[in-house]
Chains A and B, each alone.
Chain A
Amino acid sequence: MNNISVQKLKEKAIEMRQTAITMIHKAQSGHPGGSLSAADIMTALYFKEMKVDPENPNWEDRDRFVLSKGHVCPIQYAALALKGFVPYETIYTLREYGSPFQGHPDMKKCPGIDISTGSLGQGLSCGVGMAIAGKRDGKDYRVFSLIGDGECQEGQIWEAAQTAVKYQLDNLAVFVDNNRLQIDGFCDEIMPLQDLENKFAAFGFETKRIDGHSMEQIVETLDEIRDVKNGRPKCIVLDTVKGKGVSYMEDIADWHGVAPNNEEYQQAMAELAGGLK
Protein backbone atom coordinates (compact mmCIF):
# COMPACT_ATOMS: atom_id res chain seq x y z
CA MET A 1 0.00 0.00 0.00
CA ASN A 2 1.24 3.48 -0.87
CA ASN A 3 0.56 6.54 1.22
CA ILE A 4 -1.18 8.82 -1.20
CA SER A 5 -3.92 11.32 -0.45
CA VAL A 6 -7.42 11.17 -1.84
CA GLN A 7 -6.73 14.49 -3.57
CA LYS A 8 -3.65 13.09 -5.32
CA LEU A 9 -5.64 10.01 -6.35
CA LYS A 10 -8.31 12.23 -7.87
CA GLU A 11 -5.62 13.99 -9.87
CA LYS A 12 -4.23 10.61 -10.97
CA ALA A 13 -7.72 9.58 -12.06
CA ILE A 14 -7.77 12.57 -14.42
CA GLU A 15 -4.50 11.41 -15.97
CA MET A 16 -5.82 7.86 -16.19
CA ARG A 17 -8.97 8.91 -18.01
CA GLN A 18 -7.11 11.23 -20.36
CA THR A 19 -4.52 8.57 -21.14
CA ALA A 20 -7.17 5.93 -21.90
CA ILE A 21 -9.15 8.28 -24.15
CA THR A 22 -5.99 9.43 -25.94
CA MET A 23 -5.09 5.81 -26.58
CA ILE A 24 -8.51 4.96 -28.01
CA HIS A 25 -8.58 8.16 -30.08
CA LYS A 26 -5.16 7.44 -31.57
CA ALA A 27 -6.14 3.84 -32.34
CA GLN A 28 -9.59 4.92 -33.55
CA SER A 29 -10.71 1.70 -31.91
CA GLY A 30 -11.33 0.43 -28.38
CA HIS A 31 -13.81 0.65 -25.52
CA PRO A 32 -14.12 4.08 -23.89
CA GLY A 33 -17.38 3.67 -21.93
CA GLY A 34 -16.28 0.91 -19.58
CA SER A 35 -12.74 2.27 -19.36
CA LEU A 36 -14.17 5.47 -17.88
CA SER A 37 -16.60 3.76 -15.50
CA ALA A 38 -13.71 1.68 -14.14
CA ALA A 39 -11.22 4.56 -13.95
CA ASP A 40 -11.56 5.46 -10.28
CA ILE A 41 -11.23 1.98 -8.82
CA MET A 42 -8.34 1.25 -11.21
CA THR A 43 -6.59 4.42 -10.05
CA ALA A 44 -7.00 3.52 -6.40
CA LEU A 45 -5.82 -0.06 -6.96
CA TYR A 46 -2.73 0.80 -8.99
CA PHE A 47 -1.62 3.97 -7.20
CA LYS A 48 -2.56 3.17 -3.63
CA GLU A 49 -3.50 -0.39 -2.91
CA MET A 50 -1.62 -2.95 -4.94
CA LYS A 51 1.84 -4.21 -4.16
CA VAL A 52 3.40 -4.32 -7.63
CA ASP A 53 6.83 -3.51 -9.01
CA PRO A 54 7.17 -2.06 -12.52
CA GLU A 55 10.86 -3.04 -12.48
CA ASN A 56 9.98 -6.64 -11.71
CA PRO A 57 6.53 -7.30 -13.11
CA ASN A 58 6.70 -11.05 -12.46
CA TRP A 59 7.79 -10.67 -8.82
CA GLU A 60 6.28 -13.74 -7.23
CA ASP A 61 5.02 -11.98 -4.09
CA ARG A 62 3.21 -9.23 -6.02
CA ASP A 63 -0.50 -8.64 -5.72
CA ARG A 64 -2.34 -9.97 -8.75
CA PHE A 65 -4.87 -8.12 -10.84
CA VAL A 66 -7.35 -9.84 -13.14
CA LEU A 67 -9.28 -7.67 -15.56
CA SER A 68 -12.12 -10.09 -16.17
CA LYS A 69 -13.88 -7.48 -18.31
CA GLY A 70 -10.84 -7.46 -20.58
CA HIS A 71 -12.25 -5.09 -23.20
CA VAL A 72 -11.71 -2.10 -20.89
CA CYS A 73 -7.95 -2.71 -20.98
CA PRO A 74 -7.21 0.88 -22.08
CA ILE A 75 -7.72 1.93 -18.46
CA GLN A 76 -5.38 -0.83 -17.25
CA TYR A 77 -2.84 0.07 -19.93
CA ALA A 78 -3.08 3.68 -18.74
CA ALA A 79 -2.12 2.51 -15.25
CA LEU A 80 0.75 0.38 -16.57
CA ALA A 81 2.06 3.26 -18.69
CA LEU A 82 1.77 5.82 -15.90
CA LYS A 83 3.41 3.43 -13.41
CA GLY A 84 6.29 2.74 -15.81
CA PHE A 85 5.69 -0.92 -16.65
CA VAL A 86 6.14 0.21 -20.25
CA PRO A 87 7.33 3.53 -21.71
CA TYR A 88 4.53 6.09 -21.66
CA GLU A 89 4.68 6.44 -25.47
CA THR A 90 3.38 2.88 -25.73
CA ILE A 91 -0.08 4.38 -25.38
CA TYR A 92 0.14 5.50 -29.00
CA THR A 93 0.43 1.89 -30.18
CA LEU A 94 -2.87 0.49 -28.87
CA ARG A 95 -4.17 -2.28 -31.14
CA GLU A 96 -1.24 -1.91 -33.54
CA TYR A 97 0.88 -4.71 -34.95
CA GLY A 98 3.62 -5.63 -32.49
CA SER A 99 2.22 -3.56 -29.62
CA PRO A 100 2.16 -4.89 -26.06
CA PHE A 101 -1.21 -3.15 -25.89
CA GLN A 102 -3.32 -5.73 -27.71
CA GLY A 103 -7.05 -5.24 -28.24
CA HIS A 104 -7.57 -7.36 -25.15
CA PRO A 105 -4.98 -8.02 -22.42
CA ASP A 106 -2.24 -10.46 -23.41
CA MET A 107 0.07 -11.60 -20.62
CA LYS A 108 2.64 -12.85 -23.13
CA LYS A 109 3.00 -9.47 -24.79
CA CYS A 110 2.54 -6.95 -22.00
CA PRO A 111 4.42 -6.70 -18.69
CA GLY A 112 2.10 -6.27 -15.72
CA ILE A 113 -0.73 -8.36 -17.16
CA ASP A 114 -1.18 -11.33 -14.82
CA ILE A 115 -3.55 -13.26 -17.08
CA SER A 116 -4.81 -12.87 -20.63
CA THR A 117 -8.51 -12.07 -20.74
CA GLY A 118 -11.09 -10.93 -23.21
CA SER A 119 -13.77 -13.59 -23.24
CA LEU A 120 -16.26 -12.46 -20.61
CA GLY A 121 -16.99 -14.55 -17.55
CA GLN A 122 -13.64 -16.34 -17.48
CA GLY A 123 -11.23 -14.10 -15.61
CA LEU A 124 -12.62 -14.52 -12.14
CA SER A 125 -11.90 -18.28 -12.25
CA CYS A 126 -8.26 -17.46 -12.97
CA GLY A 127 -8.21 -15.08 -10.03
CA VAL A 128 -9.57 -17.84 -7.82
CA GLY A 129 -6.75 -20.12 -8.98
CA MET A 130 -4.15 -17.47 -8.14
CA ALA A 131 -5.70 -16.90 -4.72
CA ILE A 132 -5.77 -20.62 -3.90
CA ALA A 133 -2.09 -20.88 -4.91
CA GLY A 134 -1.28 -17.95 -2.62
CA LYS A 135 -3.01 -19.63 0.31
CA ARG A 136 -1.43 -23.03 -0.32
CA ASP A 137 2.03 -21.50 -0.68
CA GLY A 138 1.64 -19.43 2.49
CA LYS A 139 2.16 -16.19 0.62
CA ASP A 140 0.46 -13.00 1.64
CA TYR A 141 -0.19 -11.53 -1.76
CA ARG A 142 -3.76 -10.55 -2.60
CA VAL A 143 -5.76 -10.98 -5.77
CA PHE A 144 -7.98 -8.22 -7.14
CA SER A 145 -10.43 -8.75 -9.95
CA LEU A 146 -12.63 -6.30 -11.79
CA ILE A 147 -15.73 -7.77 -13.38
CA GLY A 148 -18.59 -6.13 -15.24
CA ASP A 149 -22.23 -6.21 -14.23
CA GLY A 150 -23.22 -7.36 -17.70
CA GLU A 151 -20.49 -9.98 -17.40
CA CYS A 152 -22.36 -11.44 -14.42
CA GLN A 153 -24.84 -12.82 -16.95
CA GLU A 154 -22.19 -15.46 -17.65
CA GLY A 155 -22.69 -18.57 -15.52
CA GLN A 156 -19.00 -19.13 -14.99
CA ILE A 157 -18.82 -16.03 -12.77
CA TRP A 158 -20.99 -17.87 -10.26
CA GLU A 159 -19.00 -21.08 -10.58
CA ALA A 160 -15.93 -19.05 -9.64
CA ALA A 161 -17.81 -17.28 -6.83
CA GLN A 162 -18.87 -20.51 -5.12
CA THR A 163 -15.29 -21.79 -5.36
CA ALA A 164 -13.90 -18.62 -3.76
CA VAL A 165 -16.21 -19.17 -0.81
CA LYS A 166 -15.48 -22.89 -0.51
CA TYR A 167 -11.74 -22.25 -0.37
CA GLN A 168 -12.14 -19.32 2.04
CA LEU A 169 -10.29 -16.88 -0.16
CA ASP A 170 -10.08 -13.83 2.07
CA ASN A 171 -7.12 -12.86 -0.12
CA LEU A 172 -9.50 -12.23 -3.03
CA ALA A 173 -11.37 -8.99 -3.63
CA VAL A 174 -13.87 -8.76 -6.49
CA PHE A 175 -15.04 -5.38 -7.74
CA VAL A 176 -18.17 -5.17 -9.85
CA ASP A 177 -18.20 -2.22 -12.26
CA ASN A 178 -21.97 -1.77 -11.98
CA ASN A 179 -22.42 0.69 -14.84
CA ARG A 180 -25.82 -0.81 -15.78
CA LEU A 181 -25.06 -0.92 -19.47
CA GLN A 182 -23.96 -3.53 -21.98
CA ILE A 183 -23.49 -3.39 -25.74
CA ASP A 184 -27.14 -3.66 -26.68
CA GLY A 185 -28.52 -1.35 -24.00
CA PHE A 186 -29.39 -1.35 -20.31
CA CYS A 187 -28.71 -4.63 -18.53
CA ASP A 188 -32.17 -4.38 -17.02
CA GLU A 189 -33.64 -4.70 -20.49
CA ILE A 190 -31.21 -7.21 -21.97
CA MET A 191 -31.05 -9.56 -18.96
CA PRO A 192 -31.82 -8.17 -15.52
CA LEU A 193 -29.14 -8.98 -12.95
CA GLN A 194 -31.25 -8.18 -9.89
CA ASP A 195 -29.28 -7.08 -6.85
CA LEU A 196 -25.69 -8.12 -7.44
CA GLU A 197 -24.59 -7.27 -3.92
CA ASN A 198 -27.24 -9.59 -2.50
CA LYS A 199 -26.34 -12.28 -4.97
CA PHE A 200 -22.68 -12.28 -3.96
CA ALA A 201 -23.72 -12.11 -0.29
CA ALA A 202 -25.94 -15.15 -0.80
CA PHE A 203 -22.93 -16.99 -2.23
CA GLY A 204 -21.06 -16.23 1.00
CA PHE A 205 -19.02 -13.17 0.10
CA GLU A 206 -18.54 -10.26 2.43
CA THR A 207 -20.08 -7.43 0.43
CA LYS A 208 -20.43 -3.68 0.27
CA ARG A 209 -21.99 -1.33 -2.25
CA ILE A 210 -20.48 2.11 -2.79
CA ASP A 211 -20.36 5.00 -5.22
CA GLY A 212 -17.70 3.83 -7.66
CA HIS A 213 -16.79 7.39 -8.57
CA SER A 214 -16.27 8.61 -5.00
CA MET A 215 -12.54 8.33 -4.33
CA GLU A 216 -13.33 8.93 -0.65
CA GLN A 217 -15.63 5.89 -0.50
CA ILE A 218 -13.25 3.74 -2.55
CA VAL A 219 -10.29 4.53 -0.29
CA GLU A 220 -12.35 4.04 2.86
CA THR A 221 -13.49 0.64 1.60
CA LEU A 222 -9.99 -0.47 0.61
CA ASP A 223 -8.82 0.55 4.10
CA GLU A 224 -11.63 -1.48 5.66
CA ILE A 225 -11.03 -4.72 3.83
CA ARG A 226 -7.22 -4.65 3.64
CA ASP A 227 -6.42 -6.74 6.68
CA VAL A 228 -9.62 -8.66 7.18
CA LYS A 229 -8.61 -12.32 7.41
CA ASN A 230 -11.96 -13.89 8.17
CA GLY A 231 -12.01 -16.67 5.61
CA ARG A 232 -14.43 -14.84 3.33
CA PRO A 233 -13.80 -13.34 -0.11
CA LYS A 234 -14.86 -9.73 -0.57
CA CYS A 235 -17.15 -8.29 -3.21
CA ILE A 236 -17.53 -4.56 -3.64
CA VAL A 237 -20.29 -3.45 -5.97
CA LEU A 238 -19.33 -0.10 -7.46
CA ASP A 239 -22.23 1.97 -8.70
CA THR A 240 -20.77 3.65 -11.73
CA VAL A 241 -21.69 5.50 -14.89
CA LYS A 242 -20.49 4.22 -18.24
CA GLY A 243 -18.47 6.98 -19.93
CA LYS A 244 -18.06 8.85 -16.62
CA GLY A 245 -16.33 12.21 -17.04
CA VAL A 246 -17.19 12.81 -20.69
CA SER A 247 -20.65 14.35 -20.85
CA TYR A 248 -21.69 13.04 -24.23
CA MET A 249 -20.59 9.49 -23.39
CA GLU A 250 -22.25 9.18 -20.00
CA ASP A 251 -24.92 6.48 -19.81
CA ILE A 252 -24.91 6.00 -23.58
CA ALA A 253 -24.59 2.36 -24.60
CA ASP A 254 -23.33 3.30 -28.05
CA TRP A 255 -20.06 4.51 -26.49
CA HIS A 256 -19.29 0.95 -25.41
CA GLY A 257 -16.86 0.31 -28.22
CA VAL A 258 -16.54 3.40 -30.41
CA ALA A 259 -13.61 5.82 -30.64
CA PRO A 260 -14.12 9.60 -30.50
CA ASN A 261 -13.34 11.66 -33.61
CA ASN A 262 -10.97 14.66 -33.40
CA GLU A 263 -13.60 17.13 -32.29
CA GLU A 264 -15.09 14.74 -29.74
CA TYR A 265 -11.60 13.97 -28.50
CA GLN A 266 -10.79 17.66 -27.88
CA GLN A 267 -14.03 18.10 -25.97
CA ALA A 268 -13.42 14.93 -23.93
CA MET A 269 -9.90 16.00 -22.95
CA ALA A 270 -11.14 19.44 -21.91
CA GLU A 271 -13.96 18.04 -19.81
CA LEU A 272 -11.74 15.42 -18.19
CA ALA A 273 -9.10 18.02 -17.25
CA GLY A 274 -11.46 19.52 -14.72
CA GLY A 275 -11.93 16.25 -12.83
CA LEU A 276 -15.26 14.67 -11.89
CA LYS A 277 -18.08 17.02 -10.98
Chain B
Amino acid sequence: MSILEKDLTVKKATRQGFGDEIVEIGKENKDVYVIDVDIAKSCKTTDFIKELPNQHINVGIAEQNAAGLAAGLATTGKIPFVSTYAVFGSLRMAEQIRQEICYPNLNVKIACSHGGLTPANDGGSHQAIEDMGVLRSIPNMTVIMGADYYSTRKLVRQAAEIYGPVYLRFTRDTVPMIYGEDEEFTIGKAKKIKDGKDLAIIANGDTVHLAIQATKQLENEGISVKLLDMHTIKPIDREAVVECLGIGKIITVEDHNILNGLGSAVCEVVAEEGNGIVRRIGVQDQFGQSAPYEKLLELNGITVENIVSTAKNLVK
Protein backbone atom coordinates (compact mmCIF):
# COMPACT_ATOMS: atom_id res chain seq x y z
CA MET B 1 0.00 0.00 0.00
CA SER B 2 1.30 3.42 -0.90
CA ILE B 3 1.96 5.78 1.98
CA LEU B 4 -0.48 8.17 0.33
CA GLU B 5 -3.27 5.70 0.93
CA LYS B 6 -2.53 5.24 4.62
CA ASP B 7 -5.19 5.93 7.20
CA LEU B 8 -3.84 9.03 8.90
CA THR B 9 -6.32 8.94 11.74
CA VAL B 10 -4.24 6.42 13.69
CA LYS B 11 -1.91 8.49 15.85
CA LYS B 12 0.90 8.23 18.38
CA ALA B 13 3.30 10.82 19.84
CA THR B 14 6.85 10.46 18.65
CA ARG B 15 8.12 10.98 22.22
CA GLN B 16 6.52 7.59 22.87
CA GLY B 17 8.58 6.21 20.01
CA PHE B 18 11.72 7.35 21.80
CA GLY B 19 10.50 5.98 25.15
CA ASP B 20 9.74 2.56 23.65
CA GLU B 21 12.87 2.25 21.53
CA ILE B 22 15.36 3.41 24.14
CA VAL B 23 14.34 0.53 26.43
CA GLU B 24 15.10 -1.97 23.68
CA ILE B 25 18.41 -0.31 22.87
CA GLY B 26 19.36 -0.13 26.55
CA LYS B 27 18.67 -3.83 27.04
CA GLU B 28 20.91 -4.69 24.11
CA ASN B 29 23.74 -2.35 25.04
CA LYS B 30 24.63 -1.79 28.68
CA ASP B 31 26.59 1.32 27.76
CA VAL B 32 23.43 3.16 26.72
CA TYR B 33 22.39 5.53 29.51
CA VAL B 34 19.44 7.86 29.98
CA ILE B 35 19.91 11.08 31.90
CA ASP B 36 16.69 12.67 33.01
CA VAL B 37 16.16 16.16 34.35
CA ASP B 38 13.12 15.38 36.48
CA ILE B 39 10.62 15.16 33.63
CA ALA B 40 10.96 11.44 32.95
CA LYS B 41 7.20 10.83 32.94
CA SER B 42 6.67 13.49 30.35
CA CYS B 43 9.63 12.38 28.23
CA LYS B 44 8.45 8.74 28.36
CA THR B 45 11.54 7.27 29.99
CA THR B 46 9.74 5.68 32.93
CA ASP B 47 9.91 2.20 31.39
CA PHE B 48 13.67 2.64 31.00
CA ILE B 49 13.97 3.62 34.66
CA LYS B 50 11.96 0.58 35.72
CA GLU B 51 13.80 -1.90 33.55
CA LEU B 52 17.33 -0.47 33.54
CA PRO B 53 17.90 1.49 36.77
CA ASN B 54 21.67 0.99 36.60
CA GLN B 55 21.77 2.78 33.26
CA HIS B 56 19.71 5.70 34.47
CA ILE B 57 20.59 8.98 36.16
CA ASN B 58 18.22 11.74 37.23
CA VAL B 59 19.94 15.02 38.00
CA GLY B 60 16.78 16.93 38.85
CA ILE B 61 15.97 20.29 37.34
CA ALA B 62 19.52 21.06 36.21
CA GLU B 63 19.88 20.79 32.45
CA GLN B 64 23.34 22.31 32.19
CA ASN B 65 24.69 19.78 34.63
CA ALA B 66 22.96 16.98 32.71
CA ALA B 67 24.82 17.90 29.52
CA GLY B 68 28.20 18.12 31.26
CA LEU B 69 27.63 14.90 33.16
CA ALA B 70 26.73 13.17 29.90
CA ALA B 71 30.01 14.36 28.41
CA GLY B 72 31.89 12.89 31.36
CA LEU B 73 30.06 9.57 30.94
CA ALA B 74 30.84 9.56 27.23
CA THR B 75 34.58 9.85 27.91
CA THR B 76 34.34 6.45 29.59
CA GLY B 77 32.63 4.81 26.61
CA LYS B 78 29.00 5.26 27.61
CA ILE B 79 26.36 6.39 25.13
CA PRO B 80 24.24 8.81 27.13
CA PHE B 81 20.86 10.12 25.97
CA VAL B 82 19.97 13.34 27.78
CA SER B 83 16.19 13.51 27.78
CA THR B 84 14.34 16.79 28.23
CA TYR B 85 12.11 19.29 26.42
CA ALA B 86 13.38 20.81 23.20
CA VAL B 87 13.39 24.36 24.48
CA PHE B 88 15.73 23.39 27.33
CA GLY B 89 17.69 20.76 25.42
CA SER B 90 18.63 23.27 22.76
CA LEU B 91 18.94 26.56 24.58
CA ARG B 92 19.41 26.01 28.32
CA MET B 93 22.08 23.45 27.51
CA ALA B 94 23.40 25.15 24.38
CA GLU B 95 26.77 26.20 25.68
CA GLN B 96 27.40 22.94 27.49
CA ILE B 97 26.49 21.10 24.29
CA ARG B 98 28.94 23.29 22.40
CA GLN B 99 31.84 23.20 24.85
CA GLU B 100 31.68 19.77 26.42
CA ILE B 101 29.93 17.64 23.78
CA CYS B 102 30.43 19.02 20.27
CA TYR B 103 33.85 20.64 20.70
CA PRO B 104 35.42 17.38 21.92
CA ASN B 105 33.04 15.43 19.61
CA LEU B 106 31.75 13.14 22.34
CA ASN B 107 29.15 10.45 21.80
CA VAL B 108 26.22 12.14 23.52
CA LYS B 109 22.65 12.22 22.24
CA ILE B 110 20.20 14.97 23.14
CA ALA B 111 16.68 13.54 22.94
CA CYS B 112 13.96 16.14 23.22
CA SER B 113 10.22 15.96 23.46
CA HIS B 114 7.93 18.98 23.04
CA GLY B 115 9.40 20.00 19.68
CA GLY B 116 7.99 22.91 17.70
CA LEU B 117 4.44 24.03 18.46
CA THR B 118 3.42 20.63 19.82
CA PRO B 119 3.34 21.68 23.50
CA ALA B 120 0.53 23.90 22.32
CA ASN B 121 -1.40 24.74 25.47
CA ASP B 122 1.83 25.17 27.46
CA GLY B 123 2.27 28.44 25.60
CA GLY B 124 5.08 30.23 23.84
CA SER B 125 7.62 29.70 26.63
CA HIS B 126 7.58 25.94 26.00
CA GLN B 127 7.32 25.86 22.22
CA ALA B 128 10.78 25.27 20.76
CA ILE B 129 10.72 27.01 17.40
CA GLU B 130 14.44 27.72 17.04
CA ASP B 131 16.06 24.60 18.51
CA MET B 132 17.04 22.79 15.33
CA GLY B 133 18.49 25.97 13.88
CA VAL B 134 20.56 26.66 16.97
CA LEU B 135 22.01 23.17 17.05
CA ARG B 136 22.52 23.01 13.30
CA SER B 137 25.08 25.80 13.74
CA ILE B 138 27.35 23.77 16.02
CA PRO B 139 30.07 21.69 14.34
CA ASN B 140 29.88 17.88 14.76
CA MET B 141 26.15 17.97 15.61
CA THR B 142 23.59 15.92 13.68
CA VAL B 143 19.99 17.25 13.81
CA ILE B 144 16.97 14.98 13.31
CA MET B 145 13.20 15.00 13.60
CA GLY B 146 11.26 11.91 12.67
CA ALA B 147 7.80 12.24 11.14
CA ASP B 148 5.98 9.57 13.09
CA TYR B 149 6.22 6.89 15.73
CA TYR B 150 8.01 4.17 13.74
CA SER B 151 10.40 6.43 11.88
CA THR B 152 11.34 7.99 15.19
CA ARG B 153 12.09 4.57 16.65
CA LYS B 154 14.31 3.73 13.70
CA LEU B 155 16.13 7.05 13.87
CA VAL B 156 16.67 6.80 17.63
CA ARG B 157 18.22 3.39 17.12
CA GLN B 158 20.51 4.68 14.40
CA ALA B 159 21.49 7.65 16.52
CA ALA B 160 22.68 5.19 19.17
CA GLU B 161 24.65 3.28 16.56
CA ILE B 162 26.53 6.16 14.93
CA TYR B 163 29.35 7.90 16.76
CA GLY B 164 28.99 11.56 17.69
CA PRO B 165 26.57 14.14 19.03
CA VAL B 166 22.99 13.89 17.78
CA TYR B 167 19.99 16.09 18.51
CA LEU B 168 16.67 14.26 18.22
CA ARG B 169 13.41 16.14 18.38
CA PHE B 170 10.03 14.58 19.19
CA THR B 171 6.41 15.69 19.37
CA ARG B 172 4.55 16.13 22.60
CA ASP B 173 1.21 15.46 20.96
CA THR B 174 0.13 12.54 18.86
CA VAL B 175 0.77 12.65 15.14
CA PRO B 176 -0.48 10.28 12.41
CA MET B 177 1.31 6.97 11.90
CA ILE B 178 2.69 7.30 8.40
CA TYR B 179 5.14 4.44 8.03
CA GLY B 180 4.95 0.74 8.62
CA GLU B 181 7.04 -0.97 11.26
CA ASP B 182 9.47 -2.34 8.65
CA GLU B 183 10.19 0.90 6.80
CA GLU B 184 13.90 1.70 6.79
CA PHE B 185 15.47 5.10 7.43
CA THR B 186 19.02 6.35 7.17
CA ILE B 187 20.32 9.38 9.04
CA GLY B 188 21.31 11.99 6.46
CA LYS B 189 19.24 10.42 3.66
CA ALA B 190 15.86 11.88 2.73
CA LYS B 191 12.95 9.44 2.64
CA LYS B 192 11.30 9.65 -0.76
CA ILE B 193 7.60 9.17 -0.20
CA LYS B 194 6.62 9.84 -3.78
CA ASP B 195 8.17 10.88 -7.08
CA GLY B 196 6.71 13.64 -9.26
CA LYS B 197 7.54 16.13 -11.96
CA ASP B 198 5.77 19.46 -11.42
CA LEU B 199 6.76 20.35 -7.90
CA ALA B 200 8.78 19.06 -4.95
CA ILE B 201 7.59 19.26 -1.35
CA ILE B 202 10.21 18.71 1.32
CA ALA B 203 8.79 18.37 4.83
CA ASN B 204 9.88 17.00 8.16
CA GLY B 205 8.60 16.06 11.59
CA ASP B 206 4.97 16.65 12.43
CA THR B 207 4.32 18.44 9.12
CA VAL B 208 4.98 15.40 6.90
CA HIS B 209 1.40 14.18 7.24
CA LEU B 210 0.15 17.64 6.21
CA ALA B 211 2.40 17.45 3.16
CA ILE B 212 0.98 14.02 2.35
CA GLN B 213 -2.57 15.33 2.49
CA ALA B 214 -1.64 18.33 0.35
CA THR B 215 0.07 16.03 -2.15
CA LYS B 216 -3.07 13.95 -2.49
CA GLN B 217 -5.16 17.04 -3.23
CA LEU B 218 -2.65 18.37 -5.73
CA GLU B 219 -2.42 15.02 -7.50
CA ASN B 220 -6.19 14.94 -7.76
CA GLU B 221 -6.00 18.30 -9.48
CA GLY B 222 -3.41 17.05 -11.94
CA ILE B 223 -0.26 18.43 -10.32
CA SER B 224 2.48 15.84 -10.05
CA VAL B 225 4.28 16.14 -6.72
CA LYS B 226 7.58 14.75 -5.56
CA LEU B 227 7.45 14.38 -1.77
CA LEU B 228 10.43 14.00 0.56
CA ASP B 229 10.58 13.45 4.31
CA MET B 230 13.80 15.27 5.24
CA HIS B 231 14.07 13.89 8.78
CA THR B 232 17.74 14.91 9.03
CA ILE B 233 18.36 18.61 8.49
CA LYS B 234 22.04 18.26 9.30
CA PRO B 235 23.78 16.80 7.47
CA ILE B 236 21.22 17.75 4.83
CA ASP B 237 20.84 15.25 1.99
CA ARG B 238 22.33 17.48 -0.73
CA GLU B 239 21.86 14.89 -3.41
CA ALA B 240 18.14 14.64 -2.74
CA VAL B 241 17.76 18.44 -2.88
CA VAL B 242 19.81 18.62 -6.08
CA GLU B 243 17.48 16.05 -7.64
CA CYS B 244 14.60 18.42 -6.89
CA LEU B 245 16.39 21.11 -8.90
CA GLY B 246 15.42 19.20 -12.02
CA ILE B 247 11.87 20.28 -11.19
CA GLY B 248 13.08 23.65 -9.97
CA LYS B 249 10.06 24.42 -7.77
CA ILE B 250 10.29 23.47 -4.14
CA ILE B 251 8.12 23.99 -1.07
CA THR B 252 9.55 23.28 2.38
CA VAL B 253 7.29 22.59 5.34
CA GLU B 254 8.38 22.48 8.96
CA ASP B 255 7.15 23.04 12.50
CA HIS B 256 10.10 25.35 13.21
CA ASN B 257 10.98 28.95 12.55
CA ILE B 258 11.42 29.53 8.82
CA LEU B 259 14.82 30.96 9.77
CA ASN B 260 17.64 28.43 10.03
CA GLY B 261 15.59 25.24 9.97
CA LEU B 262 14.73 22.84 7.15
CA GLY B 263 13.71 25.63 4.76
CA SER B 264 16.97 27.47 5.24
CA ALA B 265 19.02 24.30 4.88
CA VAL B 266 17.26 23.51 1.58
CA CYS B 267 17.73 27.11 0.36
CA GLU B 268 21.46 26.89 1.04
CA VAL B 269 21.76 23.89 -1.25
CA VAL B 270 19.50 25.37 -3.92
CA ALA B 271 21.44 28.65 -3.94
CA GLU B 272 24.75 26.85 -4.23
CA GLU B 273 23.82 24.11 -6.65
CA GLY B 274 21.57 25.64 -9.31
CA ASN B 275 18.41 27.38 -10.24
CA GLY B 276 15.30 26.87 -8.25
CA ILE B 277 12.53 28.66 -6.42
CA VAL B 278 11.87 27.74 -2.82
CA ARG B 279 8.80 28.71 -0.78
CA ARG B 280 9.22 28.14 2.94
CA ILE B 281 6.24 27.20 5.06
CA GLY B 282 6.90 27.22 8.79
CA VAL B 283 6.72 29.34 11.92
CA GLN B 284 6.73 32.97 10.76
CA ASP B 285 9.55 34.19 13.01
CA GLN B 286 7.11 34.77 15.84
CA PHE B 287 6.57 33.23 19.27
CA GLY B 288 3.61 31.01 19.95
CA GLN B 289 0.97 31.22 22.66
CA SER B 290 -1.43 28.92 24.48
CA ALA B 291 -3.87 27.62 21.92
CA PRO B 292 -4.92 24.36 20.31
CA TYR B 293 -2.04 22.96 18.24
CA GLU B 294 -4.05 23.19 15.02
CA LYS B 295 -4.80 26.85 15.73
CA LEU B 296 -1.08 27.59 16.16
CA LEU B 297 -0.28 25.85 12.90
CA GLU B 298 -3.02 27.87 11.22
CA LEU B 299 -1.63 31.16 12.61
CA ASN B 300 1.62 30.33 10.83
CA GLY B 301 0.14 28.96 7.64
CA ILE B 302 1.37 25.46 8.37
CA THR B 303 -1.76 23.91 6.91
CA VAL B 304 -2.78 21.60 4.09
CA GLU B 305 -4.68 24.50 2.51
CA ASN B 306 -1.64 26.78 2.52
CA ILE B 307 0.62 24.09 1.11
CA VAL B 308 -1.90 23.48 -1.68
CA SER B 309 -2.37 27.15 -2.54
CA THR B 310 1.37 27.86 -2.36
CA ALA B 311 1.90 24.92 -4.70
CA LYS B 312 -0.67 26.12 -7.18
CA ASN B 313 0.85 29.59 -7.25
CA LEU B 314 4.26 28.12 -7.80
CA VAL B 315 3.36 25.85 -10.72
CA LYS B 316 1.11 28.43 -12.38
Measured CB to CB, the residues of A under 8 A from B are 60, 64, 66, 106-108, 114-119, 122-134, 136-137, 155-156, 159-160, 162-163, 167
Binds A, one of B72-80, B126-134, B283-291: B72-80
> Does B174 interact with chain A (Cβ within 8 Å)?
no
Contact with A along B68-102 (1 / 0, CB 8 A): 11111111111010000000000000011001100
User: Given A115-B100, A116-B100, does the pair A127, B72 have CB atoms closer than 8 Å?
Assistant: yes
Q: Which of A129, A155, A162 contacts B68 (CB 8 A)?
A: A129
Greatest chain A CB density within 10 A among B62, B65, B76, B80 is at B65
Chain B at the A interface: SS class: helix
Q: Which of B64, B78, B104 contacts A125 (CB 8 A)?
A: B64
- Give Cα A159–Cα B65 distance, bound, in whole angstroms: 6
- Cβ–Cβ < 8 Å partners of B57 in chain A: 132, 167
- Cβ–Cβ < 8 Å partners of A129 in chain B: 68-76, 80
Distance in Å: Cβ of A233 to nearest Cβ of chain B? 14
- Cβ–Cβ < 8 Å partners of B96 in chain A: 122, 125, 156
- Give Cα A66–Cα B69 distance, bound, in whole angstroms: 12
> How many interface contacts (CB-CB < 8 Å) are there between A and B?
102
Measured CB to CB, the residues of B under 8 A from A are 54-55, 57, 59-60, 62, 64-65, 67-78, 80, 95-96, 99-100, 103-105
Nearest 10 CB-CB pairings of A with B: A129-B72, A125-B68, A159-B65, A126-B72, A159-B62, A133-B76, A129-B69, A129-B73, A116-B104, A130-B72
Contact A132 B64 (CB under 8 A): no
- Cβ–Cβ < 8 Å partners of B60 in chain A: 162-163
Contact B71 A163 (CB under 8 A): no
Distance in Å: Cβ of B254 to nearest Cβ of chain A? 31
- Give Cα A156–Cα B62 distance, bound, in whole angstroms: 8
Q: Which of A136, A137, A163 contacts B65 (CB 8 A)?
A: A163
Known: A122-B95, A126-B69. 14 other contacts (CB 8 A): A64-B75, A115-B72, A116-B104, A118-B99, A122-B100, A125-B65, A126-B100, A129-B68, A129-B70, A129-B75, A132-B72, A133-B72, A137-B76, A156-B96
- Give Cα A114–Cα B68 distance, bound, in whole angstroms: 13
